[in-house]
Chains A and B, each alone.
Chain A
Amino acid sequence: MTAMYSLVFVFLLVLIPLIGVGSAHLEFFFAVCVPTTAIIIFLAGFVYKIFQWTRSPVPFRIPTTGGQQQSLDWIKQNKWDNPSTGAQTFIRMLLEVFTFRSLFRNTKVDLNKGTGVLGYSSSKWLWMFAILFHYGFFIVAVRHMRLFTEPVPIIFEWLEFGDGILQLGVPRLYLSDLLLVTGISLLLIRRLWDSRVRYISLFTDYFPLLLILGVALSGIYMRYFAKVDVVAIKAVTMGMVTFSYANLPFEQIGASFYVHVFLVSTLLAYFPFSKLMHLGGVFLSPTRNMPNDTRIKHHENPWNPDIKPHSYEAYEKDFGPAMHEAGIPVVDPANRGEQA
């Protein structure tokens, strides 16, 4: 049901620019105002969220240790899963952020009710789908820089060339488009297919998936099917990033462009206030970004409360005479039956 709501919602989002441009001729609004506002919301929201997180202290070092600790010299430490220095932690984070190392561990429980065997099988599907999607999306995003830079730096030219290296179709098919659409579709299918994941899924889980799928499909439609005037689009995109809005050739650009831009804008504006902020959050996760070193050096808790233990004096007051009788040393002479 929530998946259906999300789908309907994304369809509505497609309709808005179609009507806005098709009937109301609000090209400037949809091609410049909306994305500019969305980028501002994205940047401000992202910074706000990071500030929010940064304002909360990290009272304790609580890394989840995934291997052997630093111990005796002859015991081999698992430096990447149980780092004890900043550099090792940095590597742990790199592996986490770029290779999704924790997700790579994933297993699946298999209970054979016939034999009663409880088994664990390696289950890297989610990892694979996530890698396909994230790297696909990343390349797609970077590749778009050819439309936002002049002259186009050589690195984006290489990316453009490499991404289309199969030379399939005109314009050439981008491999990253395949990665992105495959990845996001598999993630969506998994979410619908796996009964447990479906059970925990909210509207806010389906919506970003469908929205990103919408972004990808509208982009693909624009490039491979509508074959919009990319030179005119570059004039608009460059006008936007250089804040020079005179004489932009809106009339030369097909409606699919406005749909694409509107969906991307929605995604950007939605990003900071959604679970998509895991992009920033993963860097701030205290179970991953801290070394396992509080036995080695002091970590300061800024709000460490002033709490004293129940004192030994109070303890001996309770049990002193009995302790003395049992032959346990006591401090207070009175407990030894002596005058203080």
Chain B
Amino acid sequence: MKFHYGMPIFAGLIIFLGLVTFPLWFNAPSEAYKDPEPKLPTEAEVKAAGFDTFACVESTQFMREKHMQLLDEWRDWALRDGKRSYTNAQGQTFEISLQKTCMKCHTSKKEFCDKCHEATAVTPYCWDCHIEPEGYNETH
């Protein structure tokens, strides 16, 4: 098979192929991908934090998909409407507060929030206003 101006064309083609197959060779040398493992509270920790039931505000899958939406709504209700309580589908009521509710169990941003956020390269702006809860563990 004879090619004409093969050199520049194939050089270009290789660059193109290199770019589109980037994920294949970029990930090849590293170890197999592991799901991020955010540190989840134990039942004892939840109880100790003052909650009756060993469950989050909403179901785990709900929280995985929509926690950002929930937190966004909580912020608006609390700051704009002064509404401070949230009742979930099971009829349980929680105080709308990142620090007093969520972070009572999920005590470490580093061990919990950052795990998934880093895996998906997202940078929530919660901590532009809220104090990062490092060290919260010790004082509690």
Contact = CB atoms under 8 A, between A and B. Distances in A.
A–B contact with Cβ pairs below 8 Å: the answer is yes
A234 B33 CA distance: 9
Interface of B is mostly: helix
A317 interface: no
B65 A157 contact: no
A234 B120 contact: yes
Contacts of A252: 61, 64
Interface in B1-55: 1-6, 9-10, 12-13, 16-17, 20-24, 26-28, 30, 32-33, 35-36
B32 A50 contact: no
Interface in B63-97: 64-66, 68-69, 71-72
Looking at chain A's contact residues, is the secondary structure mostly helix, strand, loop, or mixed? helix
Interface stretch (B100-108, B121-129, B130-138): B121-129
A230 B69 CA distance: 14
Given A152-B121, A284-B9, A229 B65 contact: yes
Interface in A237-279: 238-239, 241-242, 244, 249, 252, 254
Given A149-B23, A150-B27, A302-B4, A231 B119 contact: yes
B35 A227 contact: no
Contacts of B27: 148-150, 238, 241-242
A238 B35 CA distance: 10
Nearest to B120: A230
A91 interface: no
Contacts of A50: 9, 13
Contacts of B23: 145, 148-149, 241
A232 B119 CA distance: 11
Nearest to B20: A43
A238 B32 CA distance: 9
B22 A145 contact: yes
Given A47-B13, A145-B23, A242 B32 contact: yes
Contacts of B13: 46-47, 50
A252 B64 CA distance: 9
A13 interface: no
Contacts of B33: 150, 234-235, 238-239, 242, 244
Contacts of B65: 227-229, 254
Contacts of B20: 42-43
Interface in A262-316: 280, 283-284, 302
Contacts of B118: 151-152
B5 A146 contact: no
A170 B72 contact: yes
A167 B120 contact: no
A170 B119 contact: no
Given A43-B20, A47-B17, A228-B65, A54 B3 contact: yes
B72 to A, nearest CB: 4
Given A170-B68, A231-B116, 10 more contacts: A58-B5, A146-B120, A149-B23, A150-B27, A235-B33, A239-B33, A242-B33, A249-B35, A280-B16, A284-B9
Interface of A: 42-43, 46-47, 50-51, 53-58, 145-153, 156-157, 160-161, 167, 170-171, 227-232, 234-235, 238-239, 241-242, 244, 249, 252, 254, 280, 283-284, 302
Q: Which 10 A-B pairs have the closest CB atoms?
A: A148-B23, A238-B33, A146-B121, A241-B23, A152-B121, A57-B4, A170-B68, A170-B72, A54-B3, A157-B121
